[in-house]
Structure 1
């Protein structure tokens, strides 16, 4: 999978804009857009920040990033549901 697919799916499933996520990461929306479209490779530190925003395990994000394997929207949704079940709450995107 391309990491952009994962970023877009996570954002879409949470119903937030690119601008909202870019603001949480303290980057320009255009930079975030380039990550989603795989025009620019995201570094591991930003991936860690994104995992934290969504309440996901960094390990899941890294496996997707390293393997570059195709996963489905359902796989992404299951990862989010698992993270929510572990914390017993939906990760907040408000800061």
Structure 2
């Protein structure tokens, strides 16, 4: 799974819309949608902002993105569980 899958799962878990997250990040909804579908790459600065929204540690996620690795479903689950109790959304 790529980073877009994580973004979508985190957002879905919190019941937030793409528009709500885009507004928090001060980007167009279409831009955020492209991040979720991996049509465009999310830069590390934006990933940090997203991680902050969900109360996540960006270190592992950032390494995966910088290396352009596909991460496992277990990693997604771990991110979601960490985010569940810390989300600002």
Aligned residues: CA RMSD: 1.8
Partners of 1:11 and 1:50 lie apart in 2 by: 10
For the pair shown, the structure with the greater C-alpha radius of gyration is: 1
> 2:8 corresponds to which residue?
8
The one-character-per-residue Cα deviations of 1:49-90 (angstroms, maximum 9, x if unpaired) are: 000001000113213323522321x53233233356xxxx53
Displacement after TM superposition at 1:33 (Å): 0.3
> 2:88 corresponds to which residue?
92
> 2:51 corresponds to which residue?
51
Corresponding pairs, count: 88
**Matches for 1:78-89 after TM superposition, within 5 Å:** 78-82=78-82, 89=85
Partners of 2:13 and 2:83 lie apart in 1 by: 14
The one-character-per-residue Cα deviations of 1:30-54 (angstroms, maximum 9, x if unpaired) are: 0000111111111110001000001
Check the 8 A contact 2:10/2:83 in 1, yes or no: no
Alignment TM-score, normalising by the size of structure 2: 0.83
Q: Does structure 1 residue 71 correspond to structure 2 residue 72?
A: yes
Unaligned stretches of 5+ residues in structure 1: none
Check the 8 A contact 1:3/1:36 in 2, yes or no: yes
Alignment TM-score, normalising by the size of structure 1: 0.78
